[in-house]
Amino acid sequence: MTLTRSAITVPGPRSTLLHQRKTAAVAAGVGTALPVYVERAEGAVLIDVDGNRLIDFGSGIAVTSVGHAAPRVVEAVRRQAAEFTHTCFMVTPYEEYVAVAEQLNDLTPGAHEKRSALFNSGAEAVENAVKVARHHTGRPAVIAFDHAYHGRTNLTMALTAKNMPYKHRFGPFANEVYRAPMAYPYRWPTGPAVCAAEAFDQFVALVRTQVGAENTAAVIIEPIQGEGGFIVPAPGFLARVADWCDLHGIVLIADEIQTGFCRTGDWFASEFEGVVPDIVTTAKGIAGGLPLAGVTGRADIMDSVHSGGLGGTYGGNPVACAAALATIETMWAEDLCGAARRVESVLRPGLTALAGEYDAIGEVRGRGAMLAVELVRGGTKEPDADLAARVSAFCHRAGLITLTCGTYGNVLRFLPPLVIEDALLHEGLEILGDAFAAAVAR
């Protein structure tokens, strides 16, 4: 089995040298999952500076959904860079920004009239979504959930749940942020069947008793939680929260930064629950690797903000916008929503088979090309972060890029480029099988 794979040495000598330079030059707070330096990449494969080939099951954290060096994106970036790279949309605008806004308005859930604004990063999109919701409602409070991840700026750190490494010693945080329980079926104390109803009741009780609906500007939720552990909320939970927000004039913000743009098998993950959010935040997969983020919402909410109230020097940079238009075109032309479902049809059975072999795999979950296994000490639900780290380290040495996540650090997540060939998915699954055999036996 392993004979079909060429042996690789990571990190190789060139990566090792570069890593020494990194340690001397780059702030220690900027960590790296693998000390392997990339020279080029194509599709779902990275080549490092020592000539090693790595299969990418991470997509640079859910970004390169169209694949590395996707031809349409490369061409659009080249063309746009040669025409102009920056004017600042707030000074002299350009068509590409408007075209991306039109696409976002069309593609996000709901047929209502919408407006969009563009930014540089996911965190910046979330910050602006909250600004808009507060401005529109005239209310201060924002409700986020356990296990949530929304970014690393001051407000988004406050919205993010996990202390280490995201918040530790970086406070004080922005105020008027409250946290409700997440409908996390695998860990719901009274079982998955009652999870949606009980989590919803607790959410309502929290808002009523600690905040007041009339003081609440927004509820922000990831339709499938990303960094928190690829947690798919119990069916019906999102819809109940959405209906309740609607009843109380609270802006529902769906943070689709990780789930959006075909990743889960549809354009947006809210669609699986039939939820139409008031505002959707997007980034990551939107522009094939170029930094771009969007806030898209109901026209009356978005247009409530005065001219000049939203913006930034680089937001909606023309090269990033050209890349986004090429990315969206590729997603249509190559049916990448269908591709995400194909990825699931290969990966999920492989992961389920592994779960049958190892009781350390407590749950296989996710949707489309956003799948994960939660690792526990065999026979219990006690999180096993060490095992996740050992399996991941084995995969890295064998040339498979895997990422960990989860509040307890015990979730292995798989989010390959959607264009990945089946053969590479199978090769990745083989490496993963070997990794479990080695790590569990230890």
Q: What's the min distance (Å) between Cβ of 159 and ligand PMP?
A: 9
Print the binding letters for residues 282-301 with ligand PMP: x by CB under 6 A, - otherwise: -x------------------
Q: Are 259 and 365 in contact (CB under 8 A)?
A: no
Q: What's the min distance (Å) between Cβ of 189 and ligand PMP?
A: 25
Q: What's the min distance (Å) between Cβ of 369 and ligand PMP?
A: 15
Q: Which residue, 104 or 283, has its beta carbon nearer to ligand PMP?
A: 283
Q: Which residue, 61 or 194, has its beta carbon nearer to ligand PMP?
A: 61
Rounding to the nearest 10 degrees, give the CA dihedral for residues 386, 350, 328, 267.
-90
Q: What's the min distance (Å) between Cβ of 288 and ligand PMP?
A: 14
Residue 118, H or E segment: strand 114-119
Which residue in the set 67, 185, 223, 226 belongs to the binding site for ligand PMP (CB under 6 A)?
Answer: 226
Q: Is residue 255 a contact residue for ligand PMP (CB under 6 A)?
A: yes
Long-range pairs, 202-211, Cβ under 8 A, ≥24: 203/143, 203/241, 203/244, 204/244, 206/143, 206/178, 206/180, 206/181, 207/143, 207/178, 207/180, 210/178, 211/141, 211/143, 211/178
Which residue in the set 222, 374, 384, 434 belongs to the binding site for ligand PMP (CB under 6 A)?
Answer: 222
Q: What's the min distance (Å) between Cβ of 286 and ligand PMP?
A: 10
Residue 133, H or E segment: helix 122-137
**What are the phi and psi torsion angles at 47 (to 5°)?**
-115, 130
Q: What is the DSSP letter of 250?
A: P
Q: What's the min distance (Å) between Cβ of 120 and ligand PMP?
A: 8
Which residue in the set 253, 257, 286, 323 belongs to the binding site for ligand PMP (CB under 6 A)?
Answer: 257
Q: Which residue, 15 or 121, has its beta carbon nearer to ligand PMP?
A: 121
DSSP 201-219: HHHHHHIIIII-GGGEEEE
Number of residues located near ligand PMP, criterion CB under 6 A: 15
Quick one: how many helices (H) and strands (E) in the chain? 13, 15
Q: Which residue, 57 or 394, has its beta carbon nearer to ligand PMP?
A: 57
Q: Which residue, 267 or 436, has its beta carbon nearer to ligand PMP?
A: 267
Q: What's the min distance (Å) between Cβ of 260 and ligand PMP?
A: 9
Residue 10, H or E segment: none
Q: Which of these segments, 10-18, 221-229, 317-325, 370-378, binds ligand PMP (CB under 6 A)?
A: 221-229
Tokens representing 382 are 């006690």
Of all residues in this chain, which one has the CB nearest to ligand PMP in the complex?
122
- Edge-to-edge order in the sheet of strand 400-401: 38-42, 45-48, 53-56, 400-401
List helix spans (H) across 277-366: 299-302, 318-333, 336-357
Q: Is residue 10 a contact residue for ligand PMP (CB under 6 A)?
A: no
Q: What's the min distance (Å) between Cβ of 256 and ligand PMP?
A: 8
Print the binding letters for residues 41-60 with ligand PMP: x by CB under 6 A, - otherwise: --------------------
Q: Which residue, 58 or 122, has its beta carbon nearer to ligand PMP?
A: 122
Q: Are 9 and 52 in contact (CB under 8 A)?
A: yes
Q: Nearest to residue 405, comparing CAs of 33, 49, 154? A: 33
Sign of dihedral through CA atoms 272, 273, 274, 276? Answer: negative
Q: How far apart are CA 362 and CA 71, in angstroms?
A: 40
Q: Is residue 385 a contact residue for ligand PMP (CB under 6 A)?
A: no
Q: Which residue, 58 or 428, has its beta carbon nearer to ligand PMP?
A: 58
Q: Which of these segments, 211-219, 251-259, 342-350, 360-368, binds ligand PMP (CB under 6 A)?
A: 251-259
- Using CB under 6 A as the binding rule, the residues of this chain from 66 to 125 that contact ligand PMP are 121-123
DSSP 152-201: SSHHHHHH----TTTTTT--PPPSSEEEE----GGG-TT-GGGHHHHHHH
Start-to-end C-alpha separation, the chain: 21
| Other CB atoms within 10 Å distance of the CB of residue 78 | 12
Q: Which of these segments, 8-16, 37-45, 236-244, 250-258, binds ligand PMP (CB under 6 A)?
A: 250-258
Print the binding letters for residues 139-168 with ligand PMP: x by CB under 6 A, - otherwise: ----------xxx-----------------
Q: What's the min distance (Å) between Cβ of 413 and ligand PMP?
A: 11
Q: Which residue, 257 or 279, has its beta carbon nearer to ligand PMP?
A: 257
| Other CB atoms within 10 Å distance of the CB of residue 408 | 19
**Where do contacts with ligand PMP occur on this chain (CB under 6 A)?**
61, 121-123, 126, 149-151, 222, 226-227, 255, 257-258, 283
